[in-house]
Amino acid sequence: MADTYKQSICLPKTDFPMKASLARREPEFIKFWEEEKIYERLLEQNKDKEPFVFHDGPPYANGGIHHGHVLNKVLKDLVVKYRSMKGNHVRYIPGWDCHGLPIELNAERELGKPKDTDDKLSIRKRCEQFAVKWSEHQMEELKRLGVFSLWDEAYRTIDKDYEQTIVEELAKIVDAGMIYRGRKPVYWCAGCRTALAEAEVEHHDHVSPSVYVKYSVIDREKIHDVLRIEDDGTPLSLMIWTTTPWTLPASLVIAVHPAYKYRAYRVGSERIVIAQEMAQTTFEECGVGSEPLGEAVEGRNLVDLRCNHPFIEREIPVMTADYVTLEAGTGCVHTAPGHGQEDYALCASVGIEPYAPVDENGRFESDVERWSGELVWDANPKIVQFLHDEGVLLNPVGQTLKHQYPACWRCKQPIVFRATPQWFISMDRSGLREKALAEIDKTRWIPPWGHDRIHGMVEGRPDWCISRQRLWGVPLPFFFCDSCGESLVDGDVIRHIARVIGEHGSDEWFRRDAADLLPEGTVCKCGGKSFTKEENIVDVWFESGVSWAAVAQKREGLSVPVDLYLEGSDQHRGWFHTSLLTAAATRGHAPYKTVLTHGFICNEKGEILSKSQKNFVPPQKTIEAQGAEILRLWVGYEDYRSDIVYSPTIIKSLVDSYRKIRNTFKFMLGNLNDFDPAKDSVSLEEMPQIDLWMLARFNKYLKRLDKAYDEYNFHHIFHGTIELATVELSSFYLDIIKDRLYCEQADGSLRRSAQTVLHTMVGGMARVLAPVLSFTAEDVWKSLPGDKEDSVFLAGFADVEPRWEDDALLDRWSTIREVRREVTKVLEVMRKAGDIGNALQAQVVVRASGSTLELLRDMGSELLTEVLLVSAARVEEGADEVQVEAQPSKDPKCPRCWRLGNGVGTDAKHPDLCTRCAAVVKDLIAAGKLELEG
RNA sequence: GGGCCUGUAGCUCAGCUGGUUAGAGCGCACGCCUGAUAAGCGUGAGGUCGGCAGUUCAAAUCUGCCCAGGCCCA
CB atoms < 10 A from the CB of A24, how many?
A: 10
| Pick from A755, A745, A804: nearest CA to A784 | A755
Give the nucleotide with minimal C1' distance to the Cα of A897. B35
pLDDT at A212: 85
Asked if residue A461 keeps its beta carbon closer than 7 A to nucleic acid strand B, the reply is: no
Which bin fits A606, alpha (ψ -120 to 50), beta or left (φ > 0)?
Answer: left
Asked if residue A837 keeps its beta carbon closer than 7 A to nucleic acid strand B, the reply is: yes
Asked if residue A214 lies in contact with residue A392, where contact means CB atoms within 8 angstroms, the answer is yes
Q: Give me the phi and psi of A875, to 5 degrees please.
A: -110, 135
Query: ipTM score of the complex?
Result: 0.95
Helical (H) or strand (E) element with A423? strand A416-425
Asked if residue A707 keeps its beta carbon closer than 7 A to nucleic acid strand B, the reply is: no
The 10s digit of each residue's pLDDT in A423-480 is 989 999 899 999 999 999 999 999 999 999 999 999 988 889 898 888 999 999 999 9
Asked if residue A621 keeps its beta carbon closer than 7 A to nucleic acid strand B, the reply is: no
The 10s digit of each residue's pLDDT in A104-124 is 888 988 888 888 888 999 999
Which bin fits A561, alpha (ψ -120 to 50), beta or left (φ > 0)?
Answer: beta
pLDDT at A366: 79
pLDDT at A378: 84
Give the nucleotide with minimal C1' distance to the Cα of A568. B71
Least confident of A271-280, A526-535, A638-647: A271-280
Among chain A residues 153-172, those with CB within 7 Å of any atom of strand B:
none
pLDDT exceeds cutoff 60 at A199: no
pLDDT at A377: 82
Asked if residue A751 keeps its beta carbon closer than 7 A to nucleic acid strand B, the reply is: no
Least confident of A295-299, A544-548, A836-840: A295-299
pLDDT at A333: 83
Among chain A residues 881-900, those with CB within 7 Å of any atom of strand B:
895-898
Least confident of A230-239, A417-426, A515-524: A230-239
- Strands A467-468 vs A236-242: parallel, antiparallel or unpaired: unpaired
Give the nucleotide with minimal C1' distance to the Cα of A660. B39
Asked if residue A660 keeps its beta carbon closer than 7 A to nucleic acid strand B, the reply is: yes
pLDDT exceeds cutoff 60 at A494: yes
Average confidence (pLDDT) over A486-503: 94
pLDDT at A934: 47
Who's near A582: CB < 8 A, 6+ residues apart?
A169, A173, A542, A545, A546, A548, A549, A591
pLDDT exceeds cutoff 70 at A186: yes
Mean pLDDT of chain A: 89
Report the distance from CA of residue A656 to the C1' of nucleotide B45 in Å, as an integer.
22
- Of residues A350 and A824, the one with the higher pLDDT is A824
pLDDT exceeds cutoff 60 at A208: yes
Give the nucleotide with minimal C1' distance to the Cα of A453. B4
Asked if residue A634 keeps its beta carbon closer than 7 A to nucleic acid strand B, the reply is: no
| Pick from A370, A33, A348: nearest CA to A184 | A348
pTM of the model: 0.90
3-state secondary structure of A574: coil
Give the nucleotide with minimal C1' distance to the Cα of A896. B35
pLDDT at A40: 97
Reported as a pLDDT band with limits 50, 70 and 90, residue A225 is: confident
Distance of CA A692 to the CA centre of its chain: 42
Report the C-alpha gap between A773 and A766 in whole angstroms: 8
Asked if residue A726 keeps its beta carbon closer than 7 A to nucleic acid strand B, the reply is: yes
Inter-helix orientation angle A915-926/A734-743, to 10°: 40
Least confident of A190-194, A303-307, A584-588: A190-194
Report the distance from CA of residue A461 to the C1' of nucleotide B74 in Å, as an integer.
12
Asked if residue A719 keeps its beta carbon closer than 7 A to nucleic acid strand B, the reply is: yes
Among chain A residues 310-329, those with CB within 7 Å of any atom of strand B:
322-323
Q: What are the DSSP calls for A690-756, one per residue?
A: HHHHHHHHHHHHHHHHHHHHHTT-THHHHHHHHHIIIIIIIIIIHHHHHHHHHHS-TTSHHHHHHHH
Q: What share of chain A in percent tops pLDDT 90?
A: 62
- Of residues A558 and A264, the one with the higher pLDDT is A558
Most confident range (mean pLDDT) of A243-257, A285-299, A521-535, A576-590 is A576-590
The 10s digit of each residue's pLDDT in A380-396 is 888 888 778 888 877 87
A818 strand-pairing partners: none
Asked if residue A25 keeps its beta carbon closer than 7 A to nucleic acid strand B, the reply is: no
| Pick from A453, A449, A392, A468: nearest CA to A212 | A392
Report the distance from CA of residue A641 to the C1' of nucleotide B69 in Å, as an integer.
15
| Pick from A773, A597, A772, A775: nearest CA to A78 | A772
pLDDT at A156: 97
Asked if residue A742 keeps its beta carbon closer than 7 A to nucleic acid strand B, the reply is: yes
Least confident of A259-263, A719-723, A768-772, A776-780: A259-263
Bases of chain B within 7 A of a CB of the protein: 1, 3-7, 10-14, 24-27, 31-44, 68-74
Among chain A residues 65-84, those with CB within 7 Å of any atom of strand B:
none
Q: Give me the phi and psi of A33, to 5 degrees please.
A: -65, -40
Asked if residue A303 keeps its beta carbon closer than 7 A to nucleic acid strand B, the reply is: no
pLDDT at A409: 67
Give the nucleotide with minimal C1' distance to the Cα of A654. B26
The 10s digit of each residue's pLDDT in A50-101 is 999 999 999 999 889 999 999 999 999 999 999 999 999 999 999 999 998 8
pLDDT exceeds cutoff 80 at A819: yes
Q: In this structure, which amino acid lies at residue A60?
A: Y
Rounded to whole angstroms, the maximal C-alpha distance in chain A is 132
Among chain A residues 522-581, those with CB within 7 Å of any atom of strand B:
569-570, 572-574
Report the C-alpha gap between A209 and A113 in whole angstroms: 33
Helical (H) or strand (E) element with A254? strand A253-256
